Structure 1
Amino acid sequence: MRRSGSIFASIALSLTLAACVGGSTDTSAEDKERLKVYVLDKAPEDMPVKLGVNFDGKVTLLGAKITPAGVAKAGTQVKVTMYWRADKKLEAGWNLFTHVLDGSGERILNIDNVGPLREWKGDKQVLSPSQWEPGKVYVDEQDFTVPNNLRTDKIQFTTGIWRENDRLKIIGGPADRENRGIVATISTGAPATPATPEPSTRVPALRVNKLDKGVKLTLDGKLDEPAWASAPSTGPFVDVRNGKPAAGFPVSGSVKLLWDEQNLYLGFDVKDPDIVSGFDKKQKDPHLWTKDTVEIMVDPDGDGDNKDYYEIQVNPEGLVFDSQFDDYNSPKKDPDGPFGHQEWEAKLKSGIVVNGTLDKPGDKDEGYVVELAIPWKSFGKAKAAPPKIGDIWRMNFYAMQENNGVAWSAILGQGNFHRASRFGRVMFADKDFVPPVPFGAPGAAPMLLAPPPPPPGPSGSAPPGAMPRLRVAPGIIRTPPPIVPPPPQQPPP
């Protein structure tokens, strides 16, 4: 096992955190009565569109009706009625999703929770597939408006069934490789040119200037050098689902970046009222993402295609795991791994300051700081490492808790935390470099990305277990914690 070099400081502080996962599969008597008109013994024989999309032998999307049936120009209201048959009883937690794609396959709308069956109540849709009775047919009505800024000659209406980070596998019928059933392809009458994404759907961009020659950083977790004071910051991490401020999530964070010819430097500042580690150091492959950790995703090619990317996590106790992936979440072997090429090592060094106490839910913590140096030579799949002035890599950064988290760049429901097309863009520069196109401006790079979906939706870094094994680096450094009088105890919120 490997532990990164770390420095711990401790300040006594308190909060109790509770989380609820899962929930009842029951639909209330009132909702059953209201929705009974959407439950049939058999599908109508006059369905205009016959589909037969088979979801793992458990649910079949029999067909659909689309109104209007012809061209749907920008601004047109479209109604899609789908007919689902429950073939077997599903476990709790499965819900419906719908993505509307443009002609290039990019998502332009997410209407997961639109329609009578999909009204979100508590932790599930009001009449989700998990509540369906085998043998019955369910009428799923959805309405959407074709976006006014659309610049594509066709849109594709796709749907599927999701639970947490998984989608129910499609084994028959029209579908794409993302386990989405293809319901209809609708002509818009518009020219087949790419749409310009709304500013809120663009991935963020960060210019990172090179350290001046001779400047060295001390990895102590304090981030108090002048170089860190002037380093560019991501700003506060956002809700991974929609890119909005994540006020409801208990953990918040940001990260600063620097670089030189030897290393990529990162300084995470995480606010966390209840810092949890709780891992047995002798345990093989402890699941860091189930508690508190920071996470880094790196796509050196900068193209967001999920080819040859890297994942690194470091928790408040200095534990590290890392892996290299050939493709999106691949290779992996469910449920326990291996996940990616676990033999890869980032060979990072770190300094960590914990402003609070680990694994003491009865007191209130402030958070923790993780300062990292990752050698460029570790990124063996990169075209150039260290990068050249002006090179752009794709990266994302997370502050995680219990397999969820906040991010620099929102995923917008397009997969889990590994989705490289949603990684932000990091340009490596020096103070004199002037890019040929203003970095981060419209037109600087093609970024045909989806608009934010309404919550909730699948999130999290990966399905349970879909993480590389943990290793511990030698040479952890500890310093005695300062003696600080505890604040007055406060009742948990």
Structure 2
Amino acid sequence: MPRRLLCLVALAVAAVAPAAPPTDADMTGAFPHPKGYVAPRLAEPVVIDGDLADKAWATVPWSDAFADIEGDRRPAPRHRTRVKMAWDDEALYVAAELVEPHVWGTLTEHDSVIFRDNDFELFLDPDGDNHAYGELELNTLNTTWDLLLTKPYKDGGKAVNAWEITGLKTAVKVQGTLNDPRDTDTGWTLEVRWPWAGLKELAAAPPKAGDRWRINFSRVEWDVVVEGGKYKKVPGRDEHNWVWSPQGVIDMHRPERWGYVQFAAAPGEAFRPDPEWEARDWLHRVCYAERIHRKKAGRYTAEPRDLGLMLPAGRVALGATRTGFEASWLADGKPTLTIRDDGRVVRE
């Protein structure tokens, strides 16, 4: 193997020490409004073949380039990733471009743990309650893993691997040669058609123009070397996690920090920030602070002073028992959103 190629593949990037898992205390600070994207309604169908040259995609804008999952705390990704989103009466459509000089993949069995390869991941919570959300992963071989989360792992949720997205279509196109380290590739592109019929466990109905749903995307990237003419992951080195809307912590299963897709009737519509964002952010901060208090005191609290937060006056109402709590955001003295000890947010 020529030294030059080996150096290219080895990716001369300093190994970054693994980050400690986030604690509840890491999550009690204010979090900025996540990214938003306006998805136009498609004027004509998309052919799901992994080739993004379709006329239908021409007027659909690219997202911002992905960043590290922790945001500005970590170095920017060394390869660009970006997405497009669109919709029609039948489905949500996603296109992605992943720049990659050495495209490889190994997993071929559906519902494999796809992130053991380099992969692309889509997370979707239509009603924004942080429970019952979908996840789809696919690799360069177009091998897919679709799963439903009853609630986030941090809240005791379970992954339902038997769940299948009804009518799902995906395709991948490699710009280069797959699993061949002798040359330099351009990358890979993909398309996803997620029908509204495949959302029946997550959403009561398809979206309408103007609706906003919670969504995020992740790219898992492993450092590799070449041994015996094949790519091999660098032993003992964690993967890189590059995402569209940064989470602040290395954990995609924090749906309260995902971005937003806004469904538009036509191109050119401006994104409208979530008017409930302040309420949602405060309620999740209270939820994490309640968990900290319970670990210390053995019970939840209905006293704001116990939480260590400077709650906005007159906006948060607390109620608690030894085994549970709820916190509500108030507008004109009436609750509008409520969070409970399992992390679910419901609209009153």
Could you say which residue in structure 2 is the equivalent of 1:357? 177
Q: Note closer, same or farther for the CA distance 1:315–1:332 as it changes in structure 2 (3 Å cut).
A: farther
Q: Return the letter of the residue paired with 1:445.
A: W
Q: Note closer, same or farther for the CA distance 1:362–1:380 as it changes in structure 2 (3 Å cut).
A: same
Q: Return the letter of the residue paired with 1:271.
A: V
Aligned runs of 1:242-281 on 2, under 5 Å? 242-243=71-72, 246-247=75-76, 249-279=77-107, 281=108
Shift of 1:376: 1.0
Q: Is the 8 A contact 2:110 2:145 kept in 1?
A: no
Q: Is the 8 A contact 1:377 1:385 kept in 2?
A: no
Are 1:416 and 2:251 an aligned pair?
A: yes
Aligned runs of 1:20-35 on 2, under 5 Å? none
Using the alignment, how far apart are the partners of 1:99 and 1:382 within structure 2?
Answer: 27
Could you say which residue in structure 2 is the equivalent of 1:235? 64
Q: Note closer, same or farther for the CA distance 1:258–1:22 as it changes in structure 2 (3 Å cut).
A: closer
Q: Note closer, same or farther for the CA distance 1:330–1:237 as it changes in structure 2 (3 Å cut).
A: same
Are 1:320 and 2:144 an aligned pair?
A: yes
Shift of 1:22: 9.1
Mind listing any 5+ residue stretches in structure 1 that lack a counterpart? 1-12, 24-92, 109-194, 334-338, 451-493
Of 15, 18, 40, the match for 1:209: 40
Using the alignment, how far apart are the partners of 1:374 and 1:323 within structure 2?
Answer: 13
Shift of 1:389: 1.9
Are 1:297 and 2:123 an aligned pair?
A: yes
Shift of 1:432: 8.9
Shift of 1:320: 0.5
Q: Which moved more, 1:354-363 or 1:265-274?
A: 354-363
Q: Note closer, same or farther for the CA distance 1:395–1:96 as it changes in structure 2 (3 Å cut).
A: closer
Using the alignment, how far apart are the partners of 2:267 and 2:38 within structure 1?
Answer: 12
Q: Is the 8 A contact 2:111 2:161 kept in 1?
A: no
Could you say which residue in structure 2 is the equivalent of 1:439? 272
Q: Note closer, same or farther for the CA distance 1:272–1:385 as it changes in structure 2 (3 Å cut).
A: farther
Q: CA RMSD in A?
A: 3.5
Could you say which residue in structure 1 is the equivalent of 2:242? 406
1:251-278: CA deviation from partner (whole Å, max 9, x where unpaired): 4300000101111111100001221202
Q: Which moved more, 1:367-376 or 1:216-225?
A: 216-225
TM-score of the two chains, using structure 2 as the length reference: 0.65
Aligned runs of 1:66-465 on 2, under 5 Å? 107-108=28-29, 201-212=32-43, 215-243=44-72, 246-247=75-76, 249-279=77-107, 281=108, 286-303=112-129, 305=130, 307-329=131-153, 340-346=159-165, 347-402=167-222, 403-413=239-249, 416-431=251-266, 439-440=272-273, 443=275, 445-446=277-278, 448=281
Using the alignment, how far apart are the partners of 2:219 and 2:169 within structure 1?
Answer: 19
Could you say which residue in structure 1 is the equivalent of 2:346? none
Structure having the larger proportion of residues in helix:
2
Q: Return the letter of the residue paired with 1:253.
A: T
Q: Return the letter of the residue paired with 2:272.
A: F
Q: Note closer, same or farther for the CA distance 1:440–1:366 as it changes in structure 2 (3 Å cut).
A: same
Aligned residues: 260
Using the alignment, how far apart are the partners of 1:234 and 1:244 within structure 2?
Answer: 21
Q: Is the 8 A contact 2:111 2:146 kept in 1?
A: no
Q: Find the residue that maps to 1:395 and give its secondary structure.
A: strand
Q: Note closer, same or farther for the CA distance 1:399–1:251 as it changes in structure 2 (3 Å cut).
A: farther
Q: Return the letter of the residue paired with 2:71.
A: N
Shift of 1:361: 3.0
Q: Find the residue that maps to 1:265 and give its secondary structure.
A: strand
Using the alignment, how far apart are the partners of 2:10 and 2:176 within structure 1?
Answer: 15
Q: Is the 8 A contact 1:391 1:428 kept in 2?
A: yes
Shift of 1:330: 7.6
Mind listing any 5+ residue stretches in structure 2 that lack a counterpart? 223-238, 285-348
Q: Note closer, same or farther for the CA distance 1:244–1:210 as it changes in structure 2 (3 Å cut).
A: farther
What percent of counterpart residues are identical? 26
1:64-118: CA deviation from partner (whole Å, max 9, x where unpaired): xxxxxxxxxxxxxxxxxxxxxxxxxxxxx795977757xxxx522xxxxxxxxxx
Q: Return the letter of the residue paired with 1:107.
A: T
Q: Note closer, same or farther for the CA distance 1:330–1:322 as it changes in structure 2 (3 Å cut).
A: farther
Q: Find the residue that maps to 1:261 and give its secondary structure.
A: coil
TM-score of the two chains, using structure 1 as the length reference: 0.47
Using the alignment, how far apart are the partners of 2:64 and 2:74 within structure 1?
Answer: 11
Shift of 1:348: 1.7
Q: Return the letter of the residue paired with 2:122.
A: I
Using the alignment, how far apart are the partners of 1:432 and 1:231 within structure 2?
Answer: 7
Using the alignment, how far apart are the partners of 2:269 and 2:99 within structure 1?
Answer: 35
Q: Note closer, same or farther for the CA distance 1:341–1:219 as it changes in structure 2 (3 Å cut).
A: same
Could you say which residue in structure 1 is the equivalent of 2:10? 17
Using the alignment, how far apart are the partners of 2:155 and 2:20 within structure 1?
Answer: 27
Q: Is the 8 A contact 1:237 1:246 kept in 2?
A: no
Could you say which residue in structure 1 is the equivalent of 2:326? none
